[in-house]
Amino acid sequence: MITQSRTTVWRLVAMTAATLFLALPVCAQTERKVEFKQVAPDLYFLFDFNSSNAVVLVTDEGVLVIDTRQHPRDGQDLIDRIRKISDKPIKWVINSHFHGDHHLGDPPFKALGATFVAQRETAALMQKTWPKEIARRQAFFKQHNFDPDETRLVMPDVTFDSQMTIRLGGREAVLMYFGPGQQAGDTFVLFPHARTLFTPGAFAKHSMPNMNFTPSVENWIALLKKVAAMDVDRILPAHGDVASPADVPELAAMLADQYETVKAAVGQGIGVDEAVKTLTLDQYKDWRNYARREQEIRALYELIKTGKRSYLE
């Protein structure tokens, strides 16, 4: 068990304030829509429209949770919701990828004695990007009156490489890594008994994903094609509402289109500022997070021209 103290680190990241542009857009809202959806007799999907989701498997032996949301208070709120469903011990927490909006809720689960699991690359990136992840969550913290000093990094107790199976109360959760998608470490979780697949940030229905972290758009597209071919009934994404495998090819096609469009601009010698003005990607105007179009173009320019991801340096 490895835990990193969070007393002054957020102050040390003032120099990285420029990375705040990477944050997910904050939706204009008067209230935060959060609800539990029961998708199988023992499987629950916490849908948080304006933030990140979680998945909860409830068994007679204990509870398994995927992702803990964006702040320790969010994590405690998730625990309170779970307690309305089950009084069994929360035994396992899976952190699906390194973005802070999926693991900053970890501390209250650690206090309950849960065992934390993550893919090996996710664990490394959680530690490496910790100050930047805190920096780019400041707008969210302020909006919800959350104290940044309450956050602390909880590192996984267990890591895996390509696949791991957790057995709990006669059920299985199969953790799978297909290589980098939206980022290295993207962890998919299959619940065979419920014919249900959890997807990390690599997939959301009809939504433009954040392109700042992927080392390979080609691998991301290949990964999505593999997901689309899986024999499951439903998909529970880390962002957005419940989806199905039939929704996945749409995102794969969008990524391919966007990538080829930007590659063509780079190949023609068009500068990034001009590309931002001219590549309007109007065909995706009705997609969620279209407002990050400029950020997407700049991120792809960086990847295509340098082969690097500056956020991960």
Domain boundaries, the chain: 2-201+228-246
pLDDT at 1: 38
pLDDT at 255: 98
Name the region of 150 (left: φ>0; alpha: ψ -120 to 50; beta: rest).
alpha
284, 256 in Cβ contact below 8 A? no
pLDDT at 33: 85
Q: What token pair was written down for 272?
A: 């990034």
pLDDT at 31: 56
Task: Using pLDDT thresholds of 50, 70 and 90, give the confidence band for residue 32.
Answer: low
pLDDT at 79: 98
Q: What is the share, in percent, of the chain residues with pLDDT greater than 90?
A: 89
Q: How many residues does the chain have?
A: 313
Give the Cα separation of 133 and 307 in Å (integer): 22
Helices (H), the chain: 9-12, 72-83, 106-111, 120-128, 130-135, 138-143, 217-228, 248-267, 272-278, 293-306
pLDDT at 251: 98
Question: What is the average pLDDT value for the chain, to the nearest integer?
Answer: 91
Q: What is the pTM of this model?
A: 0.90
Q: How does pLDDT run across 58-84, given as a tens digit for each residue?
A: 999 999 999 999 999 999 999 999 999
Give Cα separations from 285 to 109, 252, 281, 289, 291 (angstroms).
Answer: 39, 17, 7, 9, 8
Question: What is the CATH T-level fold of the domain 2-201+228-246, as seen in this structure?
Answer: Metallo-beta-lactamase; Chain A (3.60.15)
**Residue 39, helix vs strand vs coil:** strand
Residue 120 has pLDDT above 80, yes or no: yes
Q: The dihedral of CA 33, 38, 42, 47: what is its sign?
A: negative
